[in-house]
């Protein structure tokens, strides 16, 4: 028996795109490389996650953040550098030491005059894959354009695109219909949510589902096609995912929505639904006040750290899956280097990005660290030295195998690659390649 509540069905119907009826595609037949994009909405404070622990910048950090500073004695040191992970990020520290996590420092929009401190503008520009001169209402996101170049080869897959948010993110905006022939589903929390079910609402019986299929089959409009796709996908997930899931490698996901989302992603990837791209949104990072009150930011960063570690551990138990997955974590901008008068930090500029996965050359810091001295800052923020599109371009080309970067990131010519997934494209890409001076 198939179950659904009205809100879930309508939400699924509005976000499940595709014309072809699903037929389970085996992972071994068409695995593909997988990209998971995690967007930390609100402007995550990268300086509180990977913290200056010694040297001149430690002195600047302590002076600029007298009440928010994290004790140097509590940091988890990053060997060969003056930085350390805050103590709650022990999971990230373990991933880094295992060689599967690559932090990229001082990332933002370049040139610097393109910088904006509006959440809505910065998120739109970064997810659309452009700079500030771009129209915020550009018809397609960078991930849409990537998938659009592969749309024909992806049409036979069951769930090539999965978004775990309440709405389709800008990166998957598709006003040009580039992905009309692909299935894109919004699972919000877990696969069980995408079904005809809710214990507080009605339960679809054996007659109601065929009736809905008949009704949606009467026309060929967009809503008719999406309705059929929603029903098909609900049946597919109900039929192919057994009750219960035991994460691989003894992975322990944190309680709550984020842990459940990452567990669901791992489950879908390992189950063989042909997942190619996943988006995750984790908001709440706009810490203008009370940033460290009652351990708020530390606990929040610990939650992110634990979820990422569990996700990697789960996938790592299945080499066929782990070898194909890269996760990138990004935010629209960082925070100012100095604290404000409310125990928080205001909108800044450069920030930390993370790349995670077996294909990643982790265990080293990437980017060009600008320093925290007043003259080294950009309008009281960390000066951006690496364009976010450089990081994404390397992943799109070297991991996803897409050489059509001019389509994915128009009006952008990548600098030499950092070497996140292969040899660096030029010298000086590792922050402390020759050690910290």
Write the CATH number for 302: 3.40.720
137 domain-assigned = yes
Q: What is the DSSP letter of 395?
A: I
260 domain-assigned = yes
- Tokens in use for 401? 């195998």
435 domain-assigned = no
Low-confidence stretches of the chain (pLDDT < 50) are 1-30, 194-203, 426-430, 432-437
Bond from prior residue into 435 cis (ω within 30 degrees of 0): no
170 domain-assigned = yes
CA distances from 76 to 51, 88, 106, 292, 330 (A): 9, 9, 20, 18, 22
213 domain-assigned = no
Alpha-carbon gap, residue 2 to 93, rounded angstroms: 43
CA distances from 35 to 161, 198, 214, 274, 388 (A): 10, 31, 36, 12, 16
pLDDT at 158: 80
pLDDT at 48: 98
pLDDT at 16: 35
Helix or strand holding residue 330 (H, E): strand 325-331
Q: How many folded domains does the chain comprise?
A: 1
Alpha-carbon gap, residue 383 to 107, rounded angstroms: 8
175 domain-assigned = yes
pLDDT at 3: 39
Domain range enclosing 372: 21-194+247-408
pLDDT at 240: 65
147 domain-assigned = yes
206 domain-assigned = no
Alpha-carbon gap, residue 105 to 367, rounded angstroms: 5
E strand spans, 60-160: 76-77, 83-85, 101-108
Question: Residue 422: CB partners within 8 Å, gap ≥ 6?
Answer: 361, 398
């Amino acid at each position: 028996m198939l179950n659904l509540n009205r809100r879930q069905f309508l939400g699924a119907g509005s976000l499940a795109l595709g014309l072809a009826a699903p037929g389970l595609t085996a992972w071994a037949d068409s695995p593909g490389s997988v990209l998971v994009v995690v967007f930390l909405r609100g402007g995550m404070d990268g300086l509180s996650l990977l913290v200056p622990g010694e040297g001149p910048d430690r002195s600047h950090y302590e002076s600029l953040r007298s009440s928010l500073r994290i004790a140097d004695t509590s940091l988890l040191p990053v060997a060969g550098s003056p930085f350390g992970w805050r103590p709650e990020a022990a999971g990230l520290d373990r991933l880094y030491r295992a060689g599967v996590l690559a932090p990229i420092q001082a990332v933002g929009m370049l040139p610097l005059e393109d910088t904006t401190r509006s959440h809505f503008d910065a998120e739109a520009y970064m997810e659309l894959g452009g700079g500030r001169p771009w129209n915020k209402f550009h018809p397609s996101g960078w991930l849409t354009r990537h998938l659009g170049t592969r749309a024909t080869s992806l049409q036979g897959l069951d769930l090539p695109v999965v978004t775990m948010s309440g709405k389709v993110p800008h990166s998957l905006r598709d006003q040009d219909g580039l992905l009309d022939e692909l299935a894109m589903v919004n699972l919000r929390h877990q696969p069980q949510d995408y079904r005809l079910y809710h214990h507080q609402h009605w339960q679809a019986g054996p007659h109601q589902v065929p009736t809905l299929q008949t009704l949606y089959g009467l026309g060929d409009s967009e809503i008719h096609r999406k309705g059929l796709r929603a029903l098909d996908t609900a049946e597919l997930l109900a039929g192919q995912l057994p009750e219960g899931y035991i994460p691989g490698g003894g992975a322990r996901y944190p309680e709550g929505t984020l842990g459940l989302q990452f567990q669901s992603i791992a489950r879908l990837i390992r189950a063989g639904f042909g997942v190619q791209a996943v988006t995750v949104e984790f908001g709440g990072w706009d810490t203008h006040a009370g940033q460290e009150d009652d351990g708020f930011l530390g606990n929040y960063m610990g939650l992110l750290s634990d979820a990422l570690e569990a996700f990697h551990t789960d996938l790592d138990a299945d080499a066929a899956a782990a070898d194909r997955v890269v996760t990138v974590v990004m935010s629209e901008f960082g925070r100012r280097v100095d604290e404000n008068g409310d125990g928080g930090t205001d909108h800044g500029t450069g920030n930390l990005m993370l790349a995670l996965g077996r294909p990643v050359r982790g265990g080293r810091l990437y980017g060009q660290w600008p320093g925290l001295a007043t003259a080294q800052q950009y309008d009281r923020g960390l000066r951006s030295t690496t364009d976010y599109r450089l990081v994404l371009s390397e992943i799109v080309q070297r991991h996803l195998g897409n050489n059509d970067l001019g389509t994915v990131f128009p009006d952008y010519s990548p600098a030499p690659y950092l070497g996140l997934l292969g040899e660096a494209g030029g010298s000086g890409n590792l922050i402390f390649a020759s050690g910290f001076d």
